A and B are shown apart, each in its own frame.
Chain A
Amino acid sequence: MNSPTLHIKQLSIGYHNPSSMAKGVILPPINTSLHAGELVALIGRNGIGKSTFLRTIVGLQPAINGMIELMGNPFYIYKKNALSRLVSFVSTGITYIPHMKVFDMVALGRFPHTGWLGKLKMNDKMIIYDALEMVGLRAMAWRNVNTLSDGERQRTLIARALVQDTPIIVLDEPTAYLDIIHKYEVMDLLCQIAHKEMKTVLFSTHDMNIAHDVVDKIWLLTKSELVEGAPEDMVLSAAFEKLVARTSIRFDRISGEFDMGKRLLNTMVVHSKQDIRWIRHALQRFGYKTLQNPSSIPDNTPELLYEMSHNGLRIQYKYKSEQHMFHTIYDLGKYLKELSK
């Protein structure tokens, strides 16, 4: 295996408090490393210190203790300019700059590579156009940044990090503010950057479902430790349960999804020859446990006859002498809600 691009030893992070000289350590010592070509998602609850962790890695704030090694050398041997050729950063939040063109915004990434005047050489321009091509904004190079959608703006900022030409790219919540399509687009882009360009890409996110599908590794940050592994490792080793410990949320290891952990007090029998996944989903939402095609029906249990055909949805509800027919799950839900009153 190749040597790590980023190696973290006994790192504790937090804020130096200037008034009391006390050190506000917000995370326990962390030991981990990342390699070239790896896409890594940092997840954890709000306020746990994800941003502080990322900011420490890119050198925006000092570590309280321990050591970060970049490309095999300790962090502190690098001057600011040398550091900016190793790690680039995309921060969270939106920047509005009047009259700035997409090309110019991306061109800012060449800052560490250009002379005192900041003049772009032919080579710089080619790198910028390549990056714009990669993020799919080649045609918008001369658009005003403020006229872009949030997804396009995020891709512009990612292109800016790309042209900085660093082996490591760190992004703080690149998918926040984005709609679901743009979230997928951005994650896919990060995946390409990591795998095709062989860069180490580390980003924090709350979009775990999407991250699961693309990342090589997950860093799960909790108050007591940093748990890491492939997404599937995390599921199998019950790491995600740690994330939701002491909350009412539950992690379903089979579906790989979180649910609200609502207590289901009633039972509903469902008769169907078809896949009832979505009926089960709906019933759970209405507070019912689902019993599919049981051999014997328990007492006092309502029943549903479910059929999906080219004529549409048919749901027959049966309880004692009552019978109702529904054609949408919405109507069924309304009826059940009425009933529970």
Chain B
Amino acid sequence: MRKKTIKYSFLFFGLGILLLIFFAVDIFLGSVVLPFTDVWAALTGNGNVPENIEKIIFNFRLPKAEVALLAGIALSVSGLQMQTVFRNPLADPYVLGISSGSSFGVALFILGTGFWSFSSALWVQNLGMALAGWIGAFVMLAIIMTASLRLRDTMSMLVLGIMVGGVVSAIVGVMQYFSEATALKTYVLWTMGSFSAVPTEQLAMMFPAILLGLLLAFLTMKWLDALMLGDEYACTMGLNVRKARTVLIISSGFLAGTITAFCGPIGFIGIAVPHLTRMLFQTASHRILLPATVLLGGVVMLFSDIVSQLPGTHSVLPINTITALLGIPVIILIIFRNQRGF
């Protein structure tokens, strides 16, 4: 028992340090190589730093690192919640269709409206896109919640999520076919996911939404433990299962929906990080898993962002390609382990 506590403290401490390091590295590295001393001076605010370097750091690198951190945390926590609520190791906001809902909203906005052609200010466009994604995510969330009242079987819920996702992609596909080139390009860029597309004004909207979702997640940690054994046990242990699921799905939707709306659909992190956390901590208790997922989610996403910069080169890869390359092996590992029935 004592040994376990020490092990957990050690892991938490290690992850915390790693998170700080990656956050710093994410700021230092980028397509333009900045001298270490200048970056340090700009961040600490003493010494004179060339104006352009200050601009790069405060307008681009710092917000991007912050958004990456938030996205990693939010998507991972959302994945953890969904895996437990739906008692399925492969559940995440992506699979359940929340990301598809968001994509649909954004697609409607970019491709469907003529808004794009009589171009207004860039930030209005950005904000409109984010709002559309947000609305899409929550509409899908409402659909899933309504369905969850009728469908008791968690497997059917997942199938429903995949089917709805399929319908949405089909409709978006049709819309893409009829839309003009510039709009199409904007939409395709959004679907690749990006952390740098989030300007500081939007960060101010994104931050409270994520905070709210996380607060709900921490308040409902104990429910997740009870739900692990299934509805019958949860109910006879005194949990109001229907209420608990609704609150958890709202929390999960806030987290995943917000990130998708602002950064585009980012896959695989939501499935992979909770499993990595379980493997690392060797526990099923959410009192450990939830804070651990927060840390590891941040670490993994910052790492992905660093890699996507291709440090030392002038090109930047879409974040989705990196998360896929990192996440999919983990998911395949899970499938094989489950086969062995361990």
Question: Of B226, B282, B342, which contacts A111 at CB under 8 A?
Answer: B226
Beyond A111-B222, A111-B238, is A97–B232 a contact (Cβ under 8 Å)?
no
Asked if A81 lies at the interface with its beta carbon under 8 angstroms from chain B, I say yes
Which of A28-36, A113-121, A189-197, A229-237 binds B?
A: A113-121
Instruction: Return chain A residues, CB-CB under 8 Å to B230.
Output: 91, 95
Asked if B233 lies at the interface with its beta carbon under 8 angstroms from chain A, I say yes
Whether A108 lies near B225 (C-beta < 8 A) is yes
Docked Cα-Cα span, A10 to B233, in Å, equals 27
Docked Cα-Cα span, A129 to B229, in Å, equals 20
Asked if A101 lies at the interface with its beta carbon under 8 angstroms from chain B, I say yes
Instruction: Return chain A residues, CB-CB under 8 Å to B287.
Output: 117-119
Mark each residue of chain B from 211 to 232: 1 if its CB lies under 8 Å from any CB of chain A, else 0. Answer: 0000000010110011011101
Asked if A39 lies at the interface with its beta carbon under 8 angstroms from chain B, I say no
Q: Which of B279-319 contact A (CB under 8 A)?
A: 279, 281-285, 287
Whether B341 lies near A111 (C-beta < 8 A) is no
Question: Of B222, B238, B279, which contacts A81 at CB under 8 A?
Answer: B238
Docked Cα-Cα span, A109 to B236, in Å, equals 10
Whether B236 lies near A87 (C-beta < 8 A) is yes
- Least CB distance from B285 to A in Å reads 5
Question: Of B233, B278, B285, B337, which contacts A104 at CB under 8 A?
Answer: B285
Whether A111 lies near B237 (C-beta < 8 A) is yes
Instruction: Return chain B residues, CB-CB under 8 Å to A81.
Output: 238
Asked if A292 lies at the interface with its beta carbon under 8 angstroms from chain B, I say no
Nearest to A82 among chain B residues (CB) is B238
Whether B237 lies near A101 (C-beta < 8 A) is no
Q: Which of B185-230 contact A (CB under 8 A)?
A: 219, 221-222, 225-226, 228-230
Whether A85 lies near B238 (C-beta < 8 A) is yes
- Least CB distance from A111 to B in Å reads 4
Asked if B240 lies at the interface with its beta carbon under 8 angstroms from chain A, I say yes
Beyond A81-B238, A84-B238, A118-B221, is A108–B89 a contact (Cβ under 8 Å)?
no
Asked if B235 lies at the interface with its beta carbon under 8 angstroms from chain A, I say yes
Asked if A164 lies at the interface with its beta carbon under 8 angstroms from chain B, I say yes
Question: Of B221, B284, B285, which contacts A98 at CB under 8 A?
Answer: B284
Mark each residue of chain B from 134 to 162: 1 if its CB lies under 8 Å from any CB of chain A, else 0. Answer: 00000000000000000000000000000
Whether B222 lies near A114 (C-beta < 8 A) is yes
Whether A88 lies near B222 (C-beta < 8 A) is no
Q: Which of B251-294 contact A (CB under 8 A)?
A: 278-279, 281-285, 287
Residue tally, chain A, CB below 8 Å to B: 34
Asked if B127 lies at the interface with its beta carbon under 8 angstroms from chain A, I say no
Instruction: Return chain A residues, CB-CB under 8 Å to B239.
Output: 80, 111
Docked Cα-Cα span, A101 to B226, in Å, equals 14
Whether A117 lies near B228 (C-beta < 8 A) is no
Docked Cα-Cα span, A118 to B221, in Å, equals 8
Asked if A89 lies at the interface with its beta carbon under 8 angstroms from chain B, I say yes
Docked Cα-Cα span, A97 to B281, in Å, equals 14
- Least CB distance from A236 to B in Å reads 36
Nearest to B238 among chain A residues (CB) is A84
Beyond A108-B226, A111-B225, A118-B225, is A98–B235 a contact (Cβ under 8 Å)?
no
Docked Cα-Cα span, A99 to B282, in Å, equals 5
Asked if A96 lies at the interface with its beta carbon under 8 angstroms from chain B, I say yes
Nearest to B277 among chain A residues (CB) is A99
Asked if A83 lies at the interface with its beta carbon under 8 angstroms from chain B, I say yes
Docked Cα-Cα span, A108 to B84, in Å, equals 15
Nearest to B4 among chain A residues (CB) is A142
Beyond A108-B225, A111-B226, is A98–B89 a contact (Cβ under 8 Å)?
yes
Question: Of B222, B229, B235, B342, which contacts A116 at CB under 8 A?
Answer: B222
Residue from A81, A85, A118, A164 having most chain B Cβ neighbours under 10 A: A118
Asked if A59 lies at the interface with its beta carbon under 8 angstroms from chain B, I say yes
Beyond A89-B232, A117-B222, is A99–B283 a contact (Cβ under 8 Å)?
yes
Nearest to B224 among chain A residues (CB) is A118
Question: Of A98, A99, A108, which contacts B237 at CB under 8 A?
Answer: A108
Docked Cα-Cα span, A105 to B228, in Å, equals 10
Instruction: Return chain A residues, CB-CB under 8 Å to B233.
Output: 89, 91, 108
- Least CB distance from B284 to A in Å reads 4
Asked if A100 lies at the interface with its beta carbon under 8 angstroms from chain B, I say yes
Asked if A4 lies at the interface with its beta carbon under 8 angstroms from chain B, I say no
Asked if A202 lies at the interface with its beta carbon under 8 angstroms from chain B, I say no
Nearest to B219 among chain A residues (CB) is A116
Docked Cα-Cα span, A89 to B233, in Å, equals 7
Whether B225 lies near A98 (C-beta < 8 A) is no
Whether B222 lies near A112 (C-beta < 8 A) is no
Whether B284 lies near A97 (C-beta < 8 A) is yes
Nearest to A147 among chain B residues (CB) is B342
Instruction: Return chain B residues, CB-CB under 8 Å to A164.
Output: 237
- Least CB distance from B4 to A in Å reads 8
Asked if A58 lies at the interface with its beta carbon under 8 angstroms from chain B, I say yes
Instruction: Return chain B residues, CB-CB under 8 Å to A89.
Output: 232-233, 236
- Least CB distance from B242 to A in Å reads 11
Beyond A89-B233, A91-B233, A104-B285, is A112–B228 a contact (Cβ under 8 Å)?
no
Nearest to A104 among chain B residues (CB) is B285
Whether A84 lies near B236 (C-beta < 8 A) is yes
Nearest to B240 among chain A residues (CB) is A80
Instruction: Return chain B residues, CB-CB under 8 Å to A85.
Output: 238
Docked Cα-Cα span, A105 to B337, in Å, equals 21
6 tightest A-B contacts by CB? A84-B238, A118-B222, A100-B284, A89-B236, A81-B238, A111-B237
Ordered by A's residue number, 5 sampled pairs between the chains whose C-beta atoms are within 8 Å are A91-B233, A108-B226, A108-B229, A108-B237, A146-B342
Taking A84-B237, A97-B228, A99-B284 as known contacts, 14 extra A-B pairs with beta carbons closer than 8 A to each other, sorted by chain A number, are A58-B236, A60-B235, A60-B236, A81-B238, A82-B238, A84-B238, A88-B237, A96-B341, A98-B284, A100-B228, A101-B284, A104-B285, A105-B229, A118-B221
